[in-house]
Amino acid sequence: MKERFVMKEHNTKLAILSLLAQGGFHSGERLGEHLGISRAAVSKHIKGIQEWGVDIFRVQGKGYQLATPIELLDPKQLEQNLVVPFELIPIIDSTNQYLIEKQDTLPSGAVCLAEYQAAGRGRRGRQWVSPFASNLYLSMYWRLDAGMAAAMGLSLVVGVAIVESLEQQGIHDVKLKWPNDLYYKDKKLAGILVEMSGQAGGAANLVIGMGMNLMMSGEVSAIDQPWTSLAEASDQPLQRNQLAASFANAWYSALKQYEFQGMQGFVERWNQYDNFLNREVKLIMANREIKGIARGIDASGAILLETDEGITPYIGGEISLRGDDR
Ligand code: ATP
Ligand code: BTN
């Protein structure tokens, strides 16, 4: 009962948002009439929408307007462009969590997209800041017959697929940071999170999720590192539906290729986009830090670090790479 009530609340907010997304001013009275609720109720919902991270302002005598135009994710457009099955759940806790819970019913390639995540997460339980409609939150379920050992490579493979897809769309200079981030001009643009949702026989059930900032703005106190948005890298207005579909389709073909060929087909491509190639970096591990020069990845997906002792591969989920100046 509670869940149904919450859903209904969301539906009213989403209906207000789709009216505002058409552009221009919308009076509280008209919005109320349209939705069969009072002006006071409209105003309460607007506050709730603002808490999702949407910038709405009100001008006396005119009504409400979005501070920046938004393109909402649209199931029809996604349907036309996606080669994989998908669910669009505008308001969710975490798209990764949703697919993990549904894994038994899903084919490889099934996608979940959201406009807002109340509990978006990064590696090791860190928060992923997920305001409404200014970014992309996209997850895909994949059953990897090669098992857990091959799962480490997934964030690398998916990262390559995203950068190549952006290049094809005329958006250049997005780079990769080992093992799971996308960078633009040395700032974090997107993060990839691979989670295992169980093992059946030798196969691993995996959920791969990406959050990419598209037009996030302002001060975000929860982010303790330099970050940026894709709008900075593009001279054209970004089309969220088209971007989401192109990423999911690119993941699907890259993951298929990974199943057949393993990392082999991806090492050179990853190194081509390495943000830290031949730069001084440090690797931060549970109980030590090592400084050296980054020399790309090897065929197992390990990061190669050159020190006085030579070139050594490092691999494992607990390692973080940083530029040596940070
Ligand atoms: P690592 O190298 O270990 O992956 P990381 O700091 O990038 O380090 P992650 O777990 O990959 O850590 O990502 C989570 C971190 O990303 C958060 O602690 C925060 O600093 C940052 N972050 C959270 N939301 C966003 C966002 N929307 N855009 C950019 N960065 C974000
Ligand atoms: C990271 O940099 O640590 C990875 C961040 C991954 C965020 C995405 S947003 C979609 C999916 N759902 C989540 O809760 N996390 C991932």
Can you give the pTM of this predicted structure?
A: 0.95
What is the CA(98)–ligand 2 centre distance, in A?
Answer: 12
Tokens of 252: 């699907």
Contact 275, 176 (CB under 8 A): yes
Q: Tell me what pLDDT residue 8 has.
A: 61
Q: Is the CB of 123 under 6 A from ligand 1?
A: yes
Q: Tell me what pLDDT residue 106 has.
A: 95
Q: Active-site residues: which are they?
A: 123, 188, 322
Q: Is the CB of 188 under 6 A from ligand 1?
A: yes
How far apart (Å, rounded) are the C-alpha atoms in residues 127 and 120? 6
Q: Which of 268, 156, 173 is nearest to 210 (CA)?
A: 156
94 labelled binding-site residue: yes
288 labelled binding-site residue: no
For the chain, list the domains and their CATH numbers: 2-66 (1.10.10.10), 75-272 (3.30.930.10), 280-323 (2.30.30.100)
Q: Tell me what pLDDT residue 201 has.
A: 76
pLDDT confidence band for 7 (50 / 70 / 90): low
* pLDDT of 122 strictly over 50: yes
Phi-psi domain of 44 (left: phi exceeds 0; alpha: psi -120 through 50; beta: other) = alpha
Q: Is the CB of 223 under 6 A from ligand 1?
A: yes
Tokens of 127: 């928060």
Q: Which of 184, 151, 194 is nearest to 273 (CA)?
A: 184
The ligand placed nearest to the CA atom of residue 135 is 1
Candidate from 137, 154, 197 with most ligand 2 atoms within 8 A of CB, to mutate: 137
Q: In what order do the strands lie in the sheet with 280-284?
A: 310-314, 303-307, 289-297, 280-284, 320-323
pLDDT confidence band for 3 (50 / 70 / 90): very low
Candidate from 88, 99, 121, 207 with most ligand 2 atoms within 8 A of CB, to mutate: 121
What is the CA(31)–ligand 2 centre distance, in A?
Answer: 34
Q: Tell me what pLDDT residue 147 has.
A: 80
